[in-house]
Amino acid sequence: MHGCTAIARNYLAHASVLAQSFLEHHPHATFTVLVVDADGTEPRTVGPADVLVPTDCGIAREELHRMALMYSTQGLVSALKPTLARELLARDGAPVLFLDADSCVYGALDDVARLAAEHTLVVTPHTTHPLGPPDTDGREREIMRWGVMNGGFFAVGPGAEPFLAWWSQRMARYCVIDRERSLAYSQPWLTLAVAAFQSAVLRDPGVNASGWSLSDEVEWRDDRPRLRGAPLRDFHFAGRFDPERPDDASSVAQTRAQWPAREPGPGTLRLRREYAGRLLDAGWRETHALPPGFTTLADGTPLDAAIRARYRAALLDAERTGGPEPPNAFTDGEAAFAAWLGSARAADVEQPQRVQLERAELENERDVLAGEVVALRREREAWLAERDALRIDLAGLNAHLIAALRRLATVVRERRRAR
């Protein structure tokens, strides 16, 4: 089988750890890393893995630039997942397993490859059991918003070509965050794919487990992790995982990848700490500091969500009407793009498009604030615990004071009688 992942270059250390862990358990397999923002300076290998760039997978340079300009870094990585899988599947027809780069493999996944060979497509759900009460902002509702199937792990085998072509077509223009249109990068399409294509849903709690599925504690037996009674074979460290703070819950908290609010037990802490150590040994400090490509113009102007949404709206309109495409900063030069952008900003933007631009900006801000909100909640919980402890201490102090006053009153009465 072929293992693979897609990354921006600031995730090179993650990809190296993933490739090493995958090949430890599948020594006869191969592993490939697609670097979506390659600029020619990246290595041709990452640890034991081969490196591909988008043009190696049949993506034309102009099309890559369109996607790179209208998508965020995460959107571009997500959009090219089916392209990478299709390239590897075409090599020899062997099953292809895709894992998000912030994953680590702890056991063999050969049975997943066999399922892919039999059913052409294998996907995993965010959870295999109920998660709390059915409130409007609960974890289950969050999963429903972002897709029942998780895009961080899937497998394909011979016969999956129609599915991959279908998925790639949708990723070409609709790999964005737009809740009103039920768009959340690549994930919601997988829910539809289960109904539209031959597939298997893998309900193994030990495959593509992550913070959202940690209702139980990770246990270790013979130096192997287990979760909910099953061997933990692939853990997805989704969220803001900081290997320099593996014990800090706020460093792995995110709205879409919520770890439990309770303090982790020793098994989960061991999982985090060991993964953090592997990342640091793989050069995380150096690679994480690399700026992702396609995020700024040459003059330093950031390509924010509003600029990307404006370009995407104009591109979709041109493709729908047959009109001229808007200039692309990476293909046509930044001067032409800046001139177009200035005129587009000066023009009166229709209300639906204005709402779309504002929504994109708010989505970015929400993601940044999500971790801070979780950290503040934890501080509040700690403060409330301290307050309750103080109340208990004060109650005890009051009881001692009342008892002392009563004893004093008794002594005073007895002395008065003696006089």
pLDDT in tens, 241-289: 899 988 876 554 444 445 665 677 899 999 999 999 999 999 999 999 9
| Residues 284 and 314 occupy one common structural domain | no
What pLDDT, on a 0 to 100 scale, did the predictor assign at position 37? 95
| Residues 179 and 33 occupy one common structural domain | yes
The token pair at 313 is: 């709206």
What pLDDT, on a 0 to 100 scale, did the predictor assign at position 142? 76
| Residues 206 and 144 occupy one common structural domain | yes
251 assigned to some structural domain = yes
CA distances 49 to 6, 12, 107, 144, Å, are 12, 11, 18, 34
293 assigned to some structural domain = no
Domain boundary among 261, 288, 315: 288
Q: Which phi and psi angles does 408 have, rounded to 5°?
A: -65, -40
Please measure the distance between the N-terminal and C-terminal CA atoms of the chain and give it in whole angstroms. Answer: 101
Arithmetic mean of pLDDT, 303-325: 94
| Residues 337 and 365 occupy one common structural domain | no
Q: State the Cα–Cα distance between residues 225 and 263, nearest whole angstrom.
A: 18
| Residues 274 and 396 occupy one common structural domain | no
| Residues 373 and 404 occupy one common structural domain | yes
Q: State the Cα–Cα distance between residues 218 and 256, nearest whole angstrom.
A: 21
| Residues 245 and 182 occupy one common structural domain | yes
pTM of the model: 0.81
109 assigned to some structural domain = yes
3-class secondary-structure state, position 261: coil
> What is the residue type of 165?
A
- Whether the pLDDT of residue 59 is over 70: the answer is yes
> What is the residue type of 77?
V
| Residues 205 and 223 occupy one common structural domain | yes
* Count of domains forming the chain: 3
Lowest mean pLDDT among 12-26, 166-180, 234-248, 279-293: 234-248
297 assigned to some structural domain = no
| Residues 328 and 405 occupy one common structural domain | no
| Residues 176 and 260 occupy one common structural domain | yes
Report pLDDT digits (tens) over 61-77.
Answer: 999 999 999 999 999 99
Max distance between CA atoms of the chain, in angstroms, equals: 112
Residue with tokens 């609010």: 261
Arithmetic mean of pLDDT, 220-227: 93
Non-local CB neighbours of 323 within 8 Å, separated by 6+ positions? 317
112 assigned to some structural domain = yes
Q: State the Cα–Cα distance between residues 360 and 355, nearest whole angstrom.
A: 9
Q: State the Cα–Cα distance between residues 95 and 111, nearest whole angstrom.
A: 11
Polymer length of the chain: 419
The token pair at 390 is: 């103080």
CB–CB of 27/132 below 8 Å? Answer: no
88 assigned to some structural domain = yes
Non-local CB neighbours of 206 within 8 Å, separated by 6+ positions? 107, 226, 227, 228, 230, 231, 232, 233, 234
Helix boundaries (H) for 120-202: 139-146, 161-174, 187-196
| Residues 322 and 210 occupy one common structural domain | no
234 assigned to some structural domain = yes
Q: State the Cα–Cα distance between residues 229 and 217, nearest whole angstrom.
A: 10
Domain that holds residue 326: 305-347
Sheet holding 103-105, edge to edge: 103-105, 234-236, 207-210
Tell me which long-range contacts 51-56 makes (C-beta under 8 A, separation of at least 24).
52/84, 52/87, 54/80, 54/83, 56/87
| Residues 271 and 382 occupy one common structural domain | no
Lowest mean pLDDT among 73-82, 124-133, 169-178, 257-266: 257-266
Closest C-alpha to 126, from 110, 111, 101, 144: 144
Q: Which phi and psi angles does 257 have, rounded to 5°?
A: -140, 60
296 assigned to some structural domain = no
Q: State the Cα–Cα distance between residues 260 and 316, nearest whole angstrom.
A: 40
Residue with tokens 């819950």: 249
